[in-house]
Structure 1
Amino acid sequence: MPDSADLPIVSIVALCYNHARFLPAALDSILAQSYPRIEVILVDNASTDGSLAIMQQYAQANPTWRLLAQPRNLGLCAAFNQAYHLSRGEFLLDFATDDVLLPQRIAQQIAAFQQLPPHYGMVYSDAELIDEASQHVRFHFRRTPQGLHPQPASGYVFADVLRRYFISTPTMMMRRATLDELGGYDETLYYEDFDFWVRAARNWAFHFLDEVTTQKRVHPQAMSRRAYRPHDPHLASTIQTCRKALHLCETPDEWDALAVRVRWEMRQAIRWGSNTDAATLYKLLQQTGKLQPLDWILGQWSRLWATT
């Protein structure tokens, strides 16, 4: 490894909301990183379970760490942005403190970035899914005779991120210039990753690093577990991101990819009884110009039940 003074600074934004059970393992994994130039900003988003006291202990024991204790919950996107604007790293990690970084995580991703051209805005990798007791569940990418599933993608992946889910969010390392161009996360949204992928992938390339760099914790309190239920803000944010994508698509393949995404989201909304959102998604699907016969039937169904 080069002299540490020549290495780029990596800012870890460690976001916490009621992660007291998992915080020590998460914060210890920052301390265990082999990479020497790390800036740490801890953000407690108005936790009610004792998380703040744990973060204060770590901040006191590590004087270079900064702690932002929010008096009220700002939402994930705004809480991240506050720390991002205070950070100085050339690269950033959005680190949820129920997850765990493996010791070589940052070193491996920085090594990958250093081999890539500057138009690469994000490096992601494989992750090990663990349960509440830190026991192995599975890996994000399954190894099959046909290769990895879901199939990862590298390069300009705008159509890929519209069409399908393949990126393990906790494994992302973002180039600061990419976030700067986007103005950070969209603070009107409930969650960040799909919107970041769509907006960033329009102008920036992504790279898949075939390494397990992170342990992603799977537990009932995870936000995604509540998606698609009526009135859940997760689906509203997905719809808002799909609206943005309508204005970003440029090629027939990209329009096809957006139609695949909107169609899938509409069917999930119908499945879980979110008929008003399903009707909105049907209108978006109409705008792609890619309606199929079953889409029309489901659209009429959702419109009927949305008004009853």
Structure 2
Amino acid sequence: MHPQVSIVMPVRNAASTLEGAMASVVGQTFSDWEAVVVDDGSSDATPELLQAWAKRERRVRLLRPDPRPGLVGALNVGLAAARAPLIARMDADDVMHPERLARQVARLAAEPALGLVSCGVAFGGDRAAQAGYAAHVDWLNTVVTPEQIRRERFVEAPLAHPSVMFRRELVSQHGGYREGPWPEDYELWLRWLDAGVPMAKVPEVLLTWRDSPERASRVDARYDVKAFFAVKAQYIAAELARSGAGRAVWIAGAGRPTRRRAVLLEEHSVEIAGYVDIDPRKIGGRVAGCPVVGPAELPSADEAVVLSYVANRGARAKVRAMLTAQRREEGRDFWLCA
């Protein structure tokens, strides 16, 4: 008889944190699970530790593909081997809180329309030394409802990857993880959201998300800022084709970083009509041949959609307030993209 939840966990050289991660899996109050652990070519003590766990805990299934598949390959190996209708993600350097699986299974059972459920996460690092990541976690925990997740999807990845549980059928319907020069989890969320998959979070903190120096998001080019803006450009373009069709595309912010981010849209056949800025030194000028106007000069919502790439601290709230005051509806007439 198959379990109700398959926990898919790729592992590589995680000997220093693996014991805590596995203990948190085994310590779940929900017991109908299997852990599909994919060893991605570890060269430290990880294989021996995993073998010991598999020997004493029958619900742990250890896979060691040869040759080494890499992270995306390991994730897809795990998905292919999973036997349960629900997939929970977990990483070998994080810690599940005891009620995590129980709360997420209950939420998916109570709301059949939901395709994916995440949860609140605790920042497992030094807040002073890693202030940027800590701020990201704080923001993540404010993005909870399906409406918020969809609204904020172009700002940043709205879900912590090891915190999610989703219905396995989504993989066959919309595809699994894809190899490419992008963060594999963010690309997956964007693709599934683009397909209309509803996602939500259990608002309680049910996972401690460690921020170690070896974390892939710190050492792999697929997770740098350029990669995030490049991958979301494709899905912003798809949203514009649906919701903004027939209207001109204007960009909020005329600074150099904003222009670099916005120009990625042109690779997906999005034509930029102009820029809007509050700096009087920029208003009246031109950027790449496009006019720069003040907020009062923006065409109406019937004529234009606005994308904001302004990323300065506090700017997101100011841009949202400005565009909302002009009676533009977020998610139809404007999107925050940074």
Q: TM-score range by the shorter chain?
A: 0.7 to 0.9
CA distance in 2, matches of 1:26, 1:96: 8
Deviation at 1:151, TM superposition (A): 3.8
Does the alignment pair 1:224 with 2:217? yes
Question: 1:22 aligns to what?
Answer: 17
3-state SS of the aligned residue for 1:287?
A: coil
Unaligned runs of 5+ in 1: 271-277, 300-308
CA gap 1:282/1:87 in 2 versus in 1, 3 angstroms: closer
> Corresponding residue for 2:223?
234
- Which of 237, 243, 262 in structure 2 is aligned with 1:246? 237
Residue 214 of structure 2 aligns with an amino acid whose one-letter code is Q
Q: Distance in 2 between matches of 1:163 and 1:257?
A: 18
Deviations 1:17-68 (A, max 9, x none): 1111000000111110111210111111011222111111111112332111
> Match of 1:287?
270
8 Å Cα contact 1:13-1:94 kept in structure 2? yes
CA–CA distance in 2 between the matches of 1:56 and 1:35? 23
Q: Given residue 218 of structure 1, which amino acid in structure 2 is its aligned partner? A: D
Task: Write the deviation string for residues 144-199 of structure 1: whole angstroms up to 9, x where unpaired.
Answer: xxxx9644332484443123443222211111121221221113455321111111
Which residue, out of 206, 210, 214, partners 1:213?
206
Larger Rg: 2
Contact 1:157 1:201 in 2 (8 A): no
Superposition RMSD in Å:
3.8
Q: Please show how residues 1-308 of structure 1 align to structure 2 within 5 Å.
A: 9-116=4-111, 118-131=112-125, 142=138, 150-155=142-147, 157-188=149-180, 191-202=183-194, 203-226=196-219, 232-235=221-224, 238=228, 239-240=230-231, 242-247=233-238, 249=240, 250-252=242-244, 267=257, 281=264, 283-284=266-267, 287=270, 289=272, 291-292=274-275, 296=287
Q: Against the structure 1 CA distance between its residues 290 and 149, is the aligned structure 2 distance closer, same or farther, given a 3 Å change threshold?
A: farther
In structure 1, distance between residues paired with 2:250 and 2:165: 25
Is contact 1:10–1:91 with CA below 8 Å preserved after alignment? Answer: yes
Aligned partners of 1:182 and 1:74: how far apart in 2? Answer: 22
Return the alpha-carbon distance in structure 2 between the equivalents of residues 91 and 79 of structure 1: 18
1:75 CA displacement: 2.0
Closer/same/farther in 2, CA of residues 256 and 59 from structure 1, 3 Å limit: farther
Equivalenced residues, count: 271
Query: 2: CA distance between counterparts of 1:256 and 1:161?
Result: 22
Change beyond 3 A, Cα 1:84–1:189? farther
Residue type of the partner of 2:116? M
Q: Answer yes or no: is the 8 Å Cα contact 1:190–1:233 preserved in 2.
A: yes
Whole-angstrom distance in 1 between the partners of 2:249 and 2:43: 41
Change (3 A) 1:39 1:170: same
Q: Distance in 2 between matches of 1:283 and 1:208?
A: 34
| Contact kept in structure 1, 2:38 and 2:77, CA below 8 Å | no
Provide the rounded CA distance (Å) in 1 between the counterparts of 2:82 and 2:50: 18
SS, match of residue 30 in structure 1: helix
2:144–2:200: 8 Å Cα contact kept in structure 1?
A: no
Contact 2:144 2:202 in 1 (8 A): no
Superposition deviation, residue 233 in structure 1: 3.2
Q: CA 1:190–1:66 in structure 2 vs 1: closer, same or farther (change >3 Å)?
A: farther
Q: Distance in 2 between matches of 1:290 and 1:214?
A: 44
Query: Which residue identity lines up with residue 22 of structure 2 in the other structure?
Result: L
Structure 2: distance between partners of 1:46 and 1:11? 21
Indicate conservation of the 8 Å contact 2:182/2:231, yes or no.
no
Letter of the 2:158 counterpart? F
CA contact (8 A) 2:121 2:141 kept: no
Relative to structure 1, the CA distance from residue 163 to residue 142 in structure 2 (aligned partners, 3 Å threshold; closer, same or farther) is: closer
Residues 115, 199 of structure 2: 8 Å contact kept: yes
Q: In structure 2, do the counterparts of structure 1 residues 191 and 109 end up closer, same or farther at CA, with 3 Å as the change threshold?
A: same
1:234 counterpart letter in structure 2: Y
